[in-house]
Amino acid sequence: MRLASFTDYGMRILMRLASDPEKRFSTAELASQFRVSQHHLTKIVQDLSRGGFVTTQRGAGGGINLARNADDISLGEIVRHLERRFALVECCKEDGGACVMKSRCRLKPRLLAAQEIFLKELDRSTVADCAWSGEPAAA
């Protein structure tokens, strides 16, 4: 299963926030660390905020931090939230997509079962397990 880059960056943001839970990070700081546009990162942060993963505060002393303890946020929960707009395949879209095999398809239930196994595995890990210090990896 391939996750959308939106989800990838969402998980990176949470992992970075977990590395220093008392600090408020700016979108500019995170965008620089992840080498992604600040505009794109802001959209992701807004979605994470709507999902109850982060809190945001504007102005001096403002920034982004975790809304909950990193030990209480599973990776599966994050993926379920951020991937809700992205269907695994056409027929998995909320409206059924444009699949002409809807009534005879034997693939969809198998794909959905595999996706659920994938998510259950991610449920076994938390953001705290994956906290990222922002330091370059050792060679």
pLDDT tens per residue, range 61-109: 789 999 999 999 999 999 999 988 776 666 666 666 677 666 677 887 7
CA dihedral 20, 24, 28, 29 (to 10 degrees): -30
Closest CA to 66 of 39, 41, 48: 48
pLDDT at residue 138 greater than cutoff 60? no
CATH number where 15 lies = 1.10.10.10
Is 139 inside any structural domain?
A: no
Do the domain assignments include residue 116?
yes
Structural domain harbouring 103: 5-130
How sure is the predictor about 139, in pLDDT bands with cuts at 50, 70 and 90?
very low
Distance in angstroms (rounded) separating the CA atoms of residues 46 and 24 = 15
Is 101 a member of any domain? yes
Is residue 65 situated within a structural domain?
yes
Work out how many domains the chain is built from and give that number.
1
* pLDDT score for 107: 81
1 contact partners, CB below 8 Å, separation of at least 6: 88, 114, 115, 118
Q: Extract the tokens encoding 103.
A: 């009534």
Instruction: Establish if 137 belongs to a structural domain.
Output: no
Asked whether residue 138 is assigned to any structural domain, the reply reads no
Q: Is residue 136 part of a domain?
A: no
Query: Could you read off the pLDDT of 97-109 as tens digits, one per residue?
Result: 677 666 677 887 7
